[in-house]
Structure formats: C-alpha cells, structure tokens
Amino acid sequence: MAGVVLTVTSGKGGVGKTTTSANLGTALAMAGQRVVVVDADLGLRNLDIVMGLESRIVYTVVDVIEDRCPLHQALIRDKRVGELYLLPASQTRDKDAVTPDQMMTICQELQEIADYVLIDSPAGIEAGFRNAVAPATEVLIVTTPEVSALRDADKVIYLLERDVGIEPRLIINRYNPRLVRRGDMLNSKDILDILSIDLLGIVPDDDNIVISTNKGRPIALEPEVYVSRAYHNIAQRILGYNVPLLRFQEVSWWERFRRMLGL
C-alpha cells in the first residue's frame, strides 16, 4: 500500500515548520514507521541541520530531478532511530529548479518505499509552497498563537481547500499556558473558533527545543522530556490512535480555588 504524503506548511515563516517536521519524522520512525522527510525549502535548507545530518549530504533533491543520481542515493539515513531518511534540499539552487510535477514524481517513488513521506514546506504561498503541497495526501498547518501567524494560516487553509481540495489539520506551536492564563495569549479555543479545522496537537513553547535544535538532535529522541511528549502524541494521532491532548493549566490557581469552592 502506498505511503502517506504529509506536507507541513504555515504561510508565515519562523513558526516551527522545520522543527515540527524533524520531530514528527523522528517520532513516527520511533513508532516503527518507515519515514522519509523531504526538505522542500530549496535555497534555504535547514532541516538537515536541525536533524544533525548536514555533514553527510552528497546529493540533493535537485540532483535527483536533474538525473545526476538515483533517488535512493540521495537519501540520508538517520542511524539514531529505526528507519528514518532525509532527502535534503540544495542550498545553491532555488525553488525555480523544481516544478510541482517533478515533486509529485519523486514523492510517488518515495511512497512506494515509505509509510510516511513528510515534506517541510518553505514559508509563503508562492512556487515553493505549491511544490510542497502538490504531492500531499494530507496537510498539517503549523501556527503560533499570534494574530499575524493565524491570519496567514487562515489564507493557506483557504488556498488548500480551493486548489488542492484538502482540509488540513492544525498544530499550535509555542503555546505558553502562562501567557494564556494572564490573558496575554490567545487560547486554543479562540484559535479553533476562527480557523475551524481539526486540531492535531499543541506543542508548548520550550527552551529545550532551541537547545536540541542547536545540537542537531531532535527533542523527540528524548521521550522523557516533557515537550517531547507533544510530538509523540501527535505522531500517535497521525497513526490513528486516540490520544488525549496534553493538559495545560489555563486558569489561574485563584480561579481554580474559587471553582473548587463552588463560588
């Protein structure tokens, strides 16, 4: 059976697409799936860095498209987990080196060998975005709880529904329960009210993510770290298991105290 092609996209840049792709790829592989993560951010590659595989790159997706090597030769195996592979982007060539058709051809080939193909989309809604969503069977929208990110996410959802006929699922990244409690950050309900798509998971804002990124070691490799659980839970939901959402304290202790007393 052909694998699932999951594109991770957002509209706005810097909201955590690459972090999400690396960690979900890792978590799915740790759950026994055969996974290929594809860096579709041509010209600005960094999925390889986040995964700590930069030094091993010989061929890139552009070399495959331009027939300089067979597909399997460009795949880099991540030896820390079961079966996880990276198809790197080129740093020197930009998005115009690839067309949506070529991306579809490559992904069809990858679908034959992998259970999950994860595509890390570039920011924006231009050529690079179209390349990344063209082969998708499912799309994950990553957003932070900021109005600018939400506005872009909303537009991307609309474009996907109109042009690809896919209703994406949502990942809220960098959620900060403390700010939500103080009323200084939108809560997940506000966000879902506007975007009205299914929520796949919430990833808290956590310093460990920055630290692990700099080490080139996705936090999902450390299942005992709290934030890592968010990614493993999302991976489980992608696999079809019904895992409850992480619980955050969104009301103040005073509020809880009052409720306890029935005030």
Partner 1 sequence: MSEFNQATSKTNNPVRLPRPNASSKPSIVRIVGTGDGIVMRIGDQDGRWSDIVRVLAGHLAKAEGFFQGERVAIEIGARLLSADDLQQIADVLAGYNIAIWAVRTSNPETRRMVQDIGLAAEGMDGSQEGQPASTGKNERARWEVHLGQRNQAAPAVKPHSEFQPPQAIADAIADQAIDQAERTEAVSPGPPKPETTGRPAFGSPAAEAEAIHQTEDTDDTTDPEVILAPPYIFRGTLRSGQVFRHAGTIMLIGDVNPGAEVISGGDIFVWGRLRGIVHAGAMGNERAVVCAIDFEPIQLRIAGYIAMSPKAVSNEPGRWFWRRNAVEKPEVARVMGKQIVVDVWDRE
Could you say whether residue 194 binds partner 1 (CB under 8 A)?
Answer: yes
Helices (H) and strands (E) in the chain, counts: 12, 8
Which among ligand ADP, Mg ion, partner 1, none contacts residue 154 (Cβ within 5 to 8 A by kind)? Answer: partner 1
User: Which among 140, 105, 104 is positioned nearest to 120, based on CA atoms?
Assistant: 140
Cβ proximity to ligand ADP: between 90 and 143 the closer is: 143
Which among ligand ADP, partner 1, Mg ion, none contacts residue 203 (Cβ within 5 to 8 A by kind)? Answer: ligand ADP
Among the candidate windows 12-20, 168-176, 244-252, 254-262, which touches Mg ion by CB under 5 A?
A: 12-20
**Which residues in the 106-145 window bind partner 1 by CB under 8 A?**
125-126, 130
Contact 156, 121 (CB under 8 A): no
3-state secondary structure of 130: helix
Could you say whether residue 18 binds Mg ion (CB under 5 A)?
Answer: yes
Report the Cα 194 to chain-centroid distance in Å. Answer: 21
**Which residues in the 141-180 window bind partner 1 by CB under 8 A?**
147, 150-152, 154-155, 157-159, 161-163
User: In sequence order, what DSSP letters do the residues of 67-105 get, joined into one string?
Assistant: TSS-HHHH-EEETTSSEEEEEPPPSSS-GGG--HHHHHH
Contact pick of 102, 213, 228, 233 for ligand ADP (by CB under 6 A): 213
**Which residues in the 3-22 window bind ligand ADP by CB under 6 A?**
10, 13-19
Residues that bind ligand ADP (CB under 6 A): 10, 13-19, 123, 173-174, 203, 205-206, 209-210, 213
Which stretches of the chain bind Mg ion, using CB under 5 A? 17-18
Residues that bind partner 1 (CB under 8 A): 125-126, 130, 147, 150-152, 154-155, 157-159, 161-163, 186, 190-191, 193-194, 196
